[in-house]
Structures are given as C-alpha cells and as structure tokens.
C-alpha cells in the first residue's frame, strides 16, 4: 500500500504521518517548495491549486488521506479555493490517474447546525454559516459525487501531542461567547491515526463518520484542567448540543478511542 497525504505539514498531518510511518506504512506527502515532513516520508512537490503538479503525486497510490485545508484566515476566497477547488483538482487527478485509490478526507464537526435536538449524528442538518465549515460541506459533496471509493471523517475538536490547540480553546471559545456549560467533543491525535488506519481497511467506505472520544467536556472543565480563567454563569444554556457529536456509528464500524478523555491524556502527559 502506498499512501498519499495532503496537508502533511499541518497540525494534524505531521502527527499523523509519524504514526503511519511507525506502523510501517509507505507514505508519500504532497508538499509545497521549502516544506519539510517527518523522516521516512517520501515527498512530491506540488500544490492542490496547481492541477499540473498532481498526476505525479497520485501516480501509483493505493490510498489518499486528504487533510489539506485552510481554516483561520480573514480571506473567505482563499478558504474556498483551497478547500473546494483544491479538493476538486485532487479528485480529477485521481479519476484520471489512480481511479482505484481509496480516498479518506478529513472534515469537521463544525458543519452541524447549532440548534439540534441531541448530539450531532451524521445524517443531521448541516447549514454552516462560517466560511470554513461551509467549504467543507461542498468539498464533502465533491468527493461523494466523484465515483471514487471514499470515506469522510468529521473530526471533533482535535488536541494533544503539545499542539497547543486545546490550550487555545478557552480563549477561542470565549471570543465566540460560548456558555461555560457548552459541551465540546474532543479527539486526540493518537485516535485520528486509529480512525484513519481503520478507514484504510475499507471499514468506512462510502460513509461519513463522526470521530470523537468517549467524554465530551464543558468549556469550563477544559479551562479548569488547563488552569485558566473562564466566565462562570448560572443562566440557562441555549443550544446545549452545539459542539457535541454522537460517535456511535464509528463504534459500530470498529473504532475504539485509545485516549477516551482529556483527563486520561492529562494523566499520561500527552495533552
């Protein structure tokens, strides 16, 4: 098996690549000039926005893990170009040069509506207002319509391996005015690797799957674990299920998180 990874130099990609290499998998990364990847990973220079560079990248691959995306930028057009047009360019290259490759695309829990009546399930409403999740919904559909073998992993809030993402959560969620009792589903980098390796077996083919740990945490619990201040309120919580994923489908398909909660991660020194 030869696996192509897009976004291999990002927050998720660098950590995932190290784990895939450690598992003995043959990994190839699509990288822009000057970017570095972990040891043991072959590189192909190219860009999702440069279709001419993609045939060489996909030639001979048996699977693609599509992580590349733009998230936080004030330029919504850039988000659209990379997340949607880049995905479309990758799909076309695969259709033409590696039509039998299995494609695993990372998406986000942010796609779900805020006012659901329970934890978000994969068939629940998605109508995101922000540019990033809106672009991921379109990119998901591009892949579904491709005729390729695909799976889509909607990741909960990613943390761990000293990536500082969880550490930024109280400040970020505070800027969004999230109630301290709002619950957030989480997933450790270690378990993204678990989910991806399961998807590589075909267990998630043709499915959109929420990937989260076993213990959603409130914003206040996250802040307290990190030792930072966060507003404490007694007023009622509106939209109580926003940010909370139902992970039962992933369990049915064979996914079991190895880091079941942020508290376990803290105890192991892997936050």
Residue 191, CA distances (Å) to 92, 94, 212 in order: 30, 27, 8
Whole-angstrom Cα distance, residue 198 to residue 169?
A: 28
Q: What's the pLDDT at 33?
A: 84
Residue 35's pLDDT band, with cuts at 50, 70 and 90, is: confident
What does the pLDDT look like over 41-53, one tens digit per residue? 999 999 999 999 9
Return the pLDDT at 176.
85
* Residues that are catalytic: 132
CA distance linking residue 109 with residue 192, whole number of Å: 14
The overall longest dimension of the chain from CA atoms, in Å, is 58
Q: Position of tokens 């990609």?
A: 13
Whole-prediction pTM: 0.96
pLDDT in tens, 191-248: 999 999 999 999 999 999 999 999 999 999 999 999 999 989 989 999 999 999 999 9
Convert 32-60 to b/e letters by CB count within 10 Å (16 or more is b). Answer: eeeeebbeebebbebbbeebebbeebbee
Q: What is the pLDDT of residue 38?
A: 85
- Per-residue confidence (pLDDT) for residue 148, from 0 to 100: 98
Quick: pLDDT tens for 114-149. Answer: 999 999 999 999 989 899 999 999 999 999 999 999
Predicted local distance difference test score (pLDDT) of residue 74:
84
- pLDDT over 90 for what percent of the chain? 91
pLDDT greater than 90 at residue 106: yes
116 near 212, Cβ under 8 Å?
no
pLDDT given at position 36: 85
Domains of the chain and any CATH numbers = 2-157+188-212+246-257 (3.40.50.720)
Phi, psi of 104 (to 5 degrees): -115, 115
Q: pLDDT-derived band of residue 73, with 50, 70 and 90 as boundaries?
A: confident
Among 68-72, 90-94, 216-220, which stretch is predicted with the lowest mean pLDDT?
68-72
The chain-wide mean pLDDT, for the chain, equals: 96
Residues whose CB falls within 8 Å of the CB of residue 114, separated by 6 or more in sequence, listed in order: 239, 242
């Amino acid at each position: 098996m030869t696996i192509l990874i897009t976004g291999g130099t990002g927050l998720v990609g660098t950590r995932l690549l190290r784990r895939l290499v450690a598992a003995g998998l043959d990994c190839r990364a699509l990288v822009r000039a000057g970017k570095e990847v972990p040891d043991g990973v072959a590189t192909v220079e190219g860009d999702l926005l440069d279709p001419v560079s993609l045939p060489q990248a996909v030639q001979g691959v048996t699977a693609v893990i599509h992580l590349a995306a733009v998230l936080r930028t004030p330029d919504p057009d850039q988000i659209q170009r990379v997340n949607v047009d880049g995905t479309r360019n990758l799909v076309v290259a695969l259709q033409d040069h590696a039509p039998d490759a299995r494609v695993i695309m990372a998406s986000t829990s942010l796609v779900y509506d805020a006012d659901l009546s329970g934890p978000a399930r994969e068939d629940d409403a998605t109508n995101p207002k922000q540019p990033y999740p809106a672009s991921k919904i379109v990119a998901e559909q591009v892949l579904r319509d491709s005729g390729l073998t695909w799976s889509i992993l909607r990741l909960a809030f990613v943390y761990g391996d000293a990536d500082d993402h969880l550490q930024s959560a109280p400040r970020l969620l505070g800027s969004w005015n999230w109630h301290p009792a709002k619950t957030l589903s989480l997933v450790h980098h270690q378990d993204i690797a678990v989910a991806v390796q399961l998807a590589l077996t075909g267990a998630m083919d043709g499915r959109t799957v929420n990937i989260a740990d076993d213990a959603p945490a409130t914003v206040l619990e996250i802040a307290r674990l990190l030792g930072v201040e966060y507003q404490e309120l007694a007023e009622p919580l509106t939209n109580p299920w926003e940010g909370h994923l139902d992970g039962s489908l992933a369990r049915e398909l064979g996914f079991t998180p190895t880091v079941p909660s942020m508290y376990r991660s803290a105890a192991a020194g892997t936050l």
